[in-house]
């Protein structure tokens, strides 16, 4: 029914509830992520560290509105992050524990990064990306993602701390998944603040390492500690131009997926020029299974499309890139985390 005699329900968003559950969940996905960001911004999970609280108690502690907070927590409880008891109190569920800022595996900064306007504004431009293939981020912000980060220290800080948050537990799992040599030098190319290099050096006391990334990023490295004293150095630069030479093993973690094939080959070319024949290269990235098999990297592939014109790749696509850059694929090792370890050797 349309026109002045139409029932309000005919035009109300609630009519979307008649959609199939799978469609309904996807359609309202942005509502869930917005609610998640809101409770993360106000650090509601930190206030639940000692047990359940009512929305009124949480609101008083966080400076928020109790009625609105109850509604947000009720939604996130449906997703298993919180639980509401018979007294109307909310507790933090194990799935929501990483939202706390004071736990070892905190992903609080990662949640703030993924739900930041940098990503949500980019997502809104996907229809135009679908039309012409251009990065959604560039359409929204007027410049490529990494160029924007270079110009915006605030957004760069959100990105760097977010990536460090999401990579914390992942770095340990990756380091356990590969038999690193007892001695030699590891060069972590585009290694951010050095979380993976730190995990590798901790597991292999005979190794030393070089952390290579943008100068502003390596300046905030995570490599200090008595067990690593004298075993590392940082170097700032541009991996499109050159990377440190003399490494016995090179790491590229979550780097190639940020770039299209042409740019990925430029990065691999820099590594190949620095690496002697026989030098090992470990590419740490998700490997798409193909064939419609469910995998978290399928969603990550859309983030790459949105933000950086990068892409996730299949095993065959990685093999092709590596071969063109002067490396031979040896094997692909799955890990307990999202990415795999793709081992190659310079030929």
CB atoms within 10 A of CB 205: 11
CA distance 110 to 116: 10
Q: 47, 108, 254, 257: which one is catalytic?
A: 257
Q: Is residue 315 within 8 Å of residue 339, measured between CB atoms? A: no
Q: Confirm if 220 and 213 have CB atoms less than 8 A apart.
A: no
**CB neighbourhood size of 157 (10 A):** 15
- φ, ψ for residue 189 (rounded to 5)? -90, 125
Please tell me the distance from the alpha carbon of residue 140 to that of residue 19, in angstroms, as a whole number: 30
Q: Which two tokens stand for residue 115?
A: 């739900």
CB 304 within 8 A of CB 310: yes
Nearest residue to 212 via CA among 229, 188, 231: 188
CA distance 275 to 17: 57
Is 32 an active-site residue? no
The CA distance from 80 to 316, in Å, is 37
Residues 92 and 58: their CA atoms lie apart, in Å, by 12
Dihedral through CA 35, CA 107, CA 186, CA 235, nearest 10?
Answer: 70
Active-site annotation, residues: 257
């Amino acid at each position: 029914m349309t026109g002045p005699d139409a029932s309000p329900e005919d035009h109300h968003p609630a009519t979307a509830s008649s959609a199939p559950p799978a469609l309904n969940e996807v359609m309202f996905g942005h509502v869930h992520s917005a609610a998640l960001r809101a409770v993360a911004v106000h650090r509601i999970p930190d206030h639940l560290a000692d047990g359940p609280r009512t929305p009124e108690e949480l609101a008083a502690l966080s400076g928020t509105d109790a009625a609105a907070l109850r509604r947000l927590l009720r939604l996130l409880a449906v997703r298993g992050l919180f639980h509401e008891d018979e007294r109307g109190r909310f507790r933090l569920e194990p799935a929501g524990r990483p939202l706390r800022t004071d736990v070892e595996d905190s992903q609080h900064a990662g949640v703030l990064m993924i739900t930041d306007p940098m990503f949500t504004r980019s997502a809104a431009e996907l229809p135009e990306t679908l039309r012409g293939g251009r990065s959604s981020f560039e359409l929204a912000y007027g410049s490529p993602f990494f160029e924007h980060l270079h110009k915006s220290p605030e957004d760069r800080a959100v990105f760097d701390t977010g990536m460090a948050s999401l990579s914390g537990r992942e770095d340990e799992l990756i380091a356990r998944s590969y038999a690193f040599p007892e001695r030699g030098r590891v060069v972590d190319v585009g290694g951010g603040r050095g979380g993976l290099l730190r995990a590798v050096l901790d597991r292999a006391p005979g190794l030393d390492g070089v952390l290579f990334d943008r100068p502003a990023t390596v300046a905030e490295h995570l490599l200090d500690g008595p067990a690593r004293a004298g075993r590392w150095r940082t170097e700032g630069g541009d991996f499109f131009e050159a990377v440190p030479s003399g490494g016995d093993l090179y790491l590229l973690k979550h780097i190639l997926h940020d770039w299209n094939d042409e740019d990925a080959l430029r990065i691999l070319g820099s590594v190949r020029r620095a690496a002697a024949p026989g030098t090992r290269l470990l590419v740490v990235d998700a490997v798409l299974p193909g064939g419609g098999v469910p995998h978290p990297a399928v969603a990550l592939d859309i983030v790459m499309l949105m933000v950086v014109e990068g892409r996730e790749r299949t095993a065959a696509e990685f093999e092709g890139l590596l071969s063109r850059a002067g490396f031979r694929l040896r094997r692909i090792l799955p890990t307990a985390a999202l990415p795999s370890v793709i081992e190659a050797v310079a030929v």
